Amino acid sequence: MNEEAWTIGRLLSWTADFFGERKIDQPRLAAEVLLAQVLQCQRIELYTRFEEVVSEDMRTEFRGLIKRHAVGEPVAYLVGHREFYSLNFKVNPHVLIPRPETETLVSELLDRLPAKGDKVDWQVCDVGTGSGAIAVCVAKYLPQATVTAIDISSQALTVAQENAQRHGVTERIHFTLGDLLSPVAGQRFDAIVSNPPYISPTELEQVAKSVKDFEPQVALVGAGADGGQTTRQLIDQAADALKPGGWLLFETSPMLAPSLKGYLEQQTQWSQSGVVKDTAGLPRVVWARRQLA
């Protein structure tokens, strides 16, 4: 009896079942993304090639990726890229993997800085840029913006610079090494946007293994017992770094959003503040507007 051939369709079915048994999130999608990486094709192409037999060399490479993902290594790191806001970004273990909830942050910022005319030149600062996903999206979708992208990690800035080059916006993003807004002291911006570290040390023990063991903790864990001290420091610094009427927007956890909004309301520099829910209906983005005078 001939052994059943390992076609693309059979490999996908087996791998999805294997991941599913191990409670891995989105098992079928993970199988497709990894196999497309091995075959060097678009994921959608797999559906027209179900009966194609995969070579032994490629199956060996695919098995290696399956084993790594089965122990928690994120698919995005295994394939080296992740889509965010309809753009494809390089990622590696030096940067957080861009997530859909952060797209809410980008949308809210773009809504507040419309492209009104040729003479508008928005000055935007992205604090903790990581892969550069936010900064690149702002530069890409708001051509009249100049972005300053700050990160405490030189390795992260290298990735961000590569992503800016990939999307043709290098000339409008200034990359700066440093902690929060300290490297741009004295400068003033129309908007400051950030996805700062906000997970508490206690919460870190409860997050998925793929996050806790593989993504950079410097970009995950915020200062203080509640993880919110880093964001409060950003709020304090942003009050002096924004132009009158400027906007501060940052991502946070649903648990921290109410207290951080309350922290903003205690300060006289802010005229307005609010919380925006993400696509899952969770409080995710906190915003505030600097007093006009």
Taking the C-alpha atoms of residue 249 and residue 196, their distance in angstroms, rounded to an integer, is 11
- The domain in which residue 159 lies consists of 95-290
Residue 81 lies in a domain: no
pLDDT at 292: 87
Q: At residue 1, does pLDDT exceed 50?
A: no
In total, how many domains does the chain have?
Answer: 2
Q: Say if residue 262 is in the same domain as residue 126.
A: yes
Q: Say if residue 65 is in the same domain as residue 136.
A: no
Q: Say if residue 49 is in the same domain as residue 139.
A: no
Q: Say if residue 43 is in the same domain as residue 111.
A: no
Q: At residue 104, does pLDDT exceed 90?
A: yes
pLDDT more than 90, % of the chain: 90
CATH no. for residue 126? Answer: 3.40.50.150
Alpha helices (H) along the chain: 8-21, 27-39, 56-70, 75-79, 100-112, 133-141, 154-166, 201-204, 209-212, 229-241, 257-265
Q: At residue 115, does pLDDT exceed 70?
A: no
pLDDT more than 70, % of the chain: 97
CB of 268 closer than 8 Å to CB of 208: no
Task: Report pTM.
Answer: 0.92
Tens-digit pLDDT profile for residues 151-175: 999 999 999 999 999 999 999 999 9
pLDDT at 210: 87
Q: Say if residue 168 is in the same domain as residue 219.
A: yes
Taking the C-alpha atoms of residue 170 and residue 147, their distance in angstroms, rounded to an integer, is 10
Residue 286 lies in a domain: yes
Q: Say if residue 166 is in the same domain as residue 275.
A: yes
